[in-house]
A and B are shown apart, each in its own frame.
Chain A
Amino acid sequence: MALYLSPDGGVLLCNKKTESVLGLKQAEIIGKHWLELLFKDKSKAINKNMFKAVMDECTTYKREKDFVCQINQRLISWSINPVLDKNSQVEAVALFGQDITAIKERESSIKNIDDSLKNIFSGIKEYALYVINLDGNITYLGMGAETMFGWSKKEIIFKHAGLLHNITTEYPDLEFILKQVRLLGRYETETELITKNREVIPVILTVNQFLDAGGNLSGYVFIAKDITERRKLEFQIFQSEKLAALGQLSAGMAHEINNPLFVISGRLEMLKDENCNQKVKTSLDLISSQTDRIRKLVDRILKFSRKAAPVLEMLDINEVIETVLPLIHYNKLPSAKIEVKKSFEKNMPKIKGDQHQLQEVFLNLLTNAYQSMPDGGVIKVTTANFQNLYAQIQIIDTGIGIPTHHLKNIFMPFFSTKNEGIGLGLSICHNIIKNHNGFIELASQVNQGSTFTIKLPFV
């Protein structure tokens, strides 16, 4: 649209497009004041000022935002252009209008897509996107990256990407990754990234070339997928497999030990009936008691390795725990006062399980809790319905806790942080819970206490 105005704002001329948009004949348009014609409804004052500015300063005025009018549902963006005479005085004003209806519609639909993408991405917690330039500095921190790394855009933009990469890992380092991307165009690897709080996140990292308009390499696009959960699962499987293999080995060994042990203890019993002097008798008794010790150890190992299928029956897990609670008092108790607090889910669905095996698990865990509190404390035993899928049992103590570096070994056979016992209790628990298709986890902090969480599936 184009209109030609006199310095006082009256329309002198207009083109055909103006006629069609306004729905008026040229004769009806000419002579009218432009503001009356185009800005009937709003912001006359502002536009008047613009017009005045154009007249005074002889400059083109084009500010889309301020200078858009709606005519018959079309959005028109205007520019005011002074037409100068020989003396550089404003002789007239040319008004050019551009129909921006379609552009605006497109912009708003793009914004909608943008918004929904933002929503989609902010809902995805395990992905992070960031871009670095050729110097390795971070130039863009995308969706999820702030959440994953704990850095805000402000803090980390233009810092080196090395900040996010764990240099102590055995996985490929940043330099190697970038080299591969330059060679192959794209590289994917498992690695570890670091958060602002120096926490290590295992990720699958996909790195692509970032090309400028001319097709030249101008940086690298990183997409990191958090695989913490997967790692956890893998570790559990690995742990189970390792335990199973150890179980087999132990069973084989125990069996081999049993035969000679049987012969030794049998012969010993026979010798005891013989007449011999006191010195020999004392020695025989000692050998006998030590042999007995070996037999008990082998028994314990056999118990650990035995893959006894649970004898399943419908159980109320609260009742199972109740039967065990009185028993812990028979254990060697520290003299300090220990309080047991119960909090049971009243409407717990039943589970299918082996009562004796589960009793053994709870007895073991409660005994551990007791022994971890030489100075007294509180044991909390709770049961809860976990998402209608599992009966969740927690045994929480306020004891000495277990150092982080021991946590990963805690279910391994023969691993013990205590002086007494041979370190099979928890691996037996692990086996039993696994045979029940359940899960057992330990969270612990030194001097804060330990929490065992067991989940057993409902039927």
Chain B
Amino acid sequence: MLYKILVVDDEAPVRDLFDELLKKENCQTVSCASGEAALEIIKKENFDVVLLDIKLPGMSGLEVLKNIREINIKLPVVMITGFGFDEDLIAKTKQFGCSGYIGKNMPVAQIITTFKQFVKNSKEKG
């Protein structure tokens, strides 16, 4: 197994897609639909990286990120965004040590490459 990944997205088809794509890349995935659930899981299990949707019902992606930092300061978090690369958002999530961004508007192949690069970088740093 390459990495253990937590996928947080409120839409099941998106979660399933990540599950399958990442499994093909030899990763193990756990997924959940809300920030609250994600925080519970992170408290119990160790992950190499969290894939976190920025737009979640209830606790927003940004708030989840803040909370993750309280639990595990080093855990790499990659934000998934439907808004492309919004500069304002980048500035805000960067403050809370977000490792990188994946836009849902990126081609899938590029998403996977980008994602792998993020994880590799943060592993090297860590």
Binding site for B on A (CB under 8 A): 251, 254-255, 258-263, 265-270, 292, 295, 298-299, 302-303, 306-309
Tell me which residues across on chain B come within 8 A of A267, comparing CB atoms.
17
Tell me which residues across on chain A come within 8 A of B87, comparing CB atoms.
306, 308-309
With the chains together, A299 CA to B11 CA distance in Å? 21
Residue from the list A255, A262, A270 in contact with B14, Cβ < 8 A: A262
Quote the shortest CB–CB distance from A156 to chain B (angstroms): 59
Residue from the list B11, B55, B88, B105 in contact with A295, Cβ < 8 A: B105
Given known A258-B105, A265-B108, A270-B21, contact A306–B14 (CB-CB < 8 A): no
Asked whether B107 lies within 8 Å of A265 as measured between CB atoms, the reply is yes
With the chains together, A260 CA to B104 CA distance in Å? 9
Does B84 count as interface, using CB distance less than 8 angstroms? yes
- Smallest CB-CB A-B distances: 7 pairs: A262-B104, A258-B82, A269-B108, A266-B17, A263-B13, A255-B82, A258-B104
Does B86 count as interface, using CB distance less than 8 angstroms? yes
Residue of B nearest to A256 (CB): B82
Tell me which residues across on chain B come within 8 A of A265, comparing CB atoms.
107-108
Asked whether A259 lies within 8 Å of B11 as measured between CB atoms, the reply is yes
With the chains together, A267 CA to B83 CA distance in Å? 21
With the chains together, A292 CA to B109 CA distance in Å? 13
Binding site for A on B (CB under 8 A): 11, 13-14, 17, 20-21, 24, 55, 82-84, 86-88, 104-105, 107-109
Asked whether B83 lies within 8 Å of A255 as measured between CB atoms, the reply is yes
Residue of A nearest to B111 (CB): A266
Tell me which residues across on chain A come within 8 A of B82, comparing CB atoms.
254-255, 258-259, 262
Tell me which residues across on chain A come within 8 A of B13, comparing CB atoms.
260, 263
Tell me which residues across on chain B come within 8 A of A259, comparing CB atoms.
11, 14, 82, 104
Tell me which residues across on chain A come within 8 A of B83, comparing CB atoms.
251, 254-255, 258, 302, 306
Given known A251-B83, A259-B11, A267-B17, contact A309–B88 (CB-CB < 8 A): yes
Asked whether B17 lies within 8 Å of A306 as measured between CB atoms, the reply is no
Tell me which residues across on chain B come within 8 A of A298, comparing CB atoms.
105
Residue of A nearest to B9 (CB): A259
With the chains together, A265 CA to B103 CA distance in Å? 13
With the chains together, A263 CA to B21 CA distance in Å? 11
Asked whether A299 lies within 8 Å of B107 as measured between CB atoms, the reply is no
Task: List 29 interface pairs A-B (beta carbons < 8 Å), by A numbering.
Answer: A254-B83, A255-B83, A258-B104, A259-B82, A259-B104, A261-B104, A261-B105, A262-B14, A262-B17, A262-B104, A262-B105, A263-B11, A263-B14, A266-B17, A266-B21, A266-B108, A268-B108, A269-B107, A269-B108, A269-B109, A270-B21, A270-B24, A292-B107, A299-B105, A302-B105, A306-B83, A308-B88, A309-B87, A309-B88
- Say whether chain A's binding surface is mostly helix, strand, loop, or mixed: helix
Residue of A nearest to B53 (CB): A259
Quote the shortest CB–CB distance from B111 to chain A (angstroms): 8
Asked whether B17 lies within 8 Å of A263 as measured between CB atoms, the reply is yes
With the chains together, A269 CA to B24 CA distance in Å? 12
With the chains together, A259 CA to B107 CA distance in Å? 13
Quote the shortest CB–CB distance from B5 to chain A (angstroms): 15
Residue of B nearest to A294 (CB): B105
Asked whether A270 lies within 8 Å of B104 as measured between CB atoms, the reply is no
Residue of A nearest to B21 (CB): A266
Quote the shortest CB–CB distance from B46 to chain A (angstroms): 27
Residue of B nearest to A267 (CB): B17
Quote the shortest CB–CB distance from B83 to chain A (angstroms): 6
With the chains together, A268 CA to B108 CA distance in Å? 9
With the chains together, A255 CA to B24 CA distance in Å? 27
Residue of A nearest to B112 (CB): A269
Quote the shortest CB–CB distance from A230 to chain B (angstroms): 34
Residue of B nearest to A258 (CB): B82
Quote the shortest CB–CB distance from A357 to chain B (angstroms): 11
Question: Apart from A259-B82, A269-B109, what 4 extra A-B contacts exist at CB < 8 Å?
Answer: A266-B108, A270-B21, A302-B105, A307-B88
Asked whether A306 lies within 8 Å of B21 as measured between CB atoms, the reply is no
